[in-house]
Amino acid sequence: MKKYKVAVVGATGVVGEMMRKVLEEKNLPVSEYTFFASNKSAGKKIIFMNKEYEVRELKENSFDEKFDFALFSAGGETSKRFSPIAVKNGCTVIDNSSAFRMDENVPLVVPEVNIEDAKMNNGIIANPNCSTIQAVVALKPLDDKYKIKRVVYSTYQAVSGAGKHGINDLQNGIENFNNENKYELEKFKYDIFNNCLPHIDVFLDNGYTKEEEKMINETRKILHRPDLRITATTVRVPVMNSHSESINIEFEDQFDEKELVETLRNSAGLIVQDDIKNEVYPIATKATGTDEVYVGRIRRDYSLDSGVNIWVVADNLRKGAASNAIQIMEYLMLD
């Protein structure tokens, strides 16, 4: 079997660290890993698969080494600058930023939903937004069976999705709440501890946030439903890790509730946790550390002719970022 050379760009960030963890868990046919980061993190020593590596600074000539794959998680500007260089040198880039997601020439891929799209790449494959990934894993089988007419997203997103500074803001809020010490916010405009902030990414002229627009547009692209009616409200909540989502779905076709639950239960990447008599439903602390998407609180929406409400939870750093990208790379390696 062929052995591949893999580069990890943004290896010291929150998602980069998770990529390293997931890669250690996999038995991929890789002969060599190389880790890149910004000048600030260059020279840092990391332990990976019981071996010490020195993190290299990402430069214009970094891809002269001819890598087979590069996992990018270093922000949109870095991806825009260095991904074309990597591709020019024969490398396939799987990018976790928003830089290429809506580029019509770049596939936007969730393996359980549209893995075949990954083959139709020109050197770059985009990893969707974390909140979109877990949503479409649940939506795809329902769209296939009942044809979705409209989606209403309401998200409850953990601070880990905002990176290390977001995590620090919550930790500082927890530590200083009882003693009422003042502390400087690193990421958010307002305290995230004890608050829910209906503001993720920047506000747009139409009143939506960029995060909300991402979910709308990315869902349409992944499901190949460009005219699908979708609206979204995305909220940052004082949870350390794993995003939760309330999704209201209106169908074109009628459905049987038991059949719908079985459809979800038999779908790839999904685990149904829906036993209200015993108060069993998906929660963030149980999803953290796993790669599955959890679905519960499945119930008919009686305000619609054919509608359902579902509650969807997943680890945003694993399935919502690192694991999804690595699944794509694994598929291309083993195909």
Q: Which two tokens stand for residue 139?
A: 């939506």
Give the span between the Cα atoms of 36 and 9, in whole angstroms. Answer: 5
Q: Which two tokens stand for residue 130?
A: 């974390």
**pLDDT higher than 90, residue 102:** yes
pLDDT tens digits, one per residue of 297-326: 999 999 999 999 999 999 999 999 999 999
Highest CATH level, class, for 4-127+321-334: alpha beta
What topology does CATH give the domain 132-316?
A: Dihydrodipicolinate Reductase; domain 2 (3.30.360)
Q: What confidence score (pLDDT) does residue 35 get?
A: 98
Q: What confidence score (pLDDT) does residue 181 get?
A: 79
> Could you tell me the pLDDT band of residue 27, with boundaries at 50, 70 and 90?
confident
Give the span between the Cα atoms of 154 and 246, in whole angstroms. Answer: 5
**pLDDT higher than 90, residue 80:** yes
pTM over cut 0.75: yes
Q: Which residues contact 77 (CB under 8 A, 6 or more apart)?
A: 99
Instruction: Give the amino acid at 277.
Output: K
**pLDDT higher than 90, residue 81:** yes
Residue-range domain boundaries for the chain:
4-127+321-334, 132-316
CB count in 10 Å sphere of residue 333: 18
Average pLDDT of span 249-278: 98
Q: What confidence score (pLDDT) does residue 243 get?
A: 98
Give the span between the Cα atoms of 295 and 147, in whole angstroms. Answer: 19
Q: Are 316 and 242 in contact (CB under 8 A)?
A: yes
**pLDDT higher than 90, residue 1:** no
> Could you tell me the pLDDT band of residue 296, with boundaries at 50, 70 and 90?
very high
Burial class (CB in 10 A: 0-12, 13-18, 19+), 123: middle
Helix (H) or strand (E) holding 168: helix 163-176
**pLDDT higher than 90, residue 178:** no
pLDDT tens digits, one per residue of 36-58: 999 999 999 999 999 999 999 99
**pLDDT higher than 90, residue 179:** no
CB count in 10 Å sphere of residue 98: 19
User: Which positions are catalytic?
Assistant: 130, 243
- Mean pLDDT for the chain? 97
Distance of CA 28 to the CA centre of its chain: 21
Nearest of 77, 64, 82, 66 to residue 124 by alpha carbon: 82
Give the span between the Cα atoms of 16 and 2, in whole angstroms. Answer: 25
> Could you tell me the pLDDT band of residue 161, with boundaries at 50, 70 and 90?
very high
- CA distances (Å), 77 to each of 14, 42, 80, 97, in order? 17, 18, 5, 9
Q: 45 - beta bridge partners?
A: 54
Kindly state the DSSP code that residue 11 receives in the 8-state scheme.
T
Average pLDDT of span 235-251: 98
**pLDDT higher than 90, residue 213:** yes
Average pLDDT of span 72-95: 97
Q: Which two tokens stand for residue 191?
A: 């305290």
Give the span between the Cα atoms of 201 and 238, in whole angstroms. Answer: 16
Burial class (CB in 10 A: 0-12, 13-18, 19+), 64: exposed
**pLDDT higher than 80, residue 180:** no
Alpha-carbon torsion (18, 22, 24, 28), positive or negative = negative
Instruction: Give the amino acid at 320.
Output: G
Nearest of 309, 324, 313, 298 to residue 249 by alpha carbon: 309
Average pLDDT of span 253-273: 98
Q: What confidence score (pLDDT) does residue 8 get?
A: 98
> Could you tell me the pLDDT band of residue 136, with boundaries at 50, 70 and 90?
very high
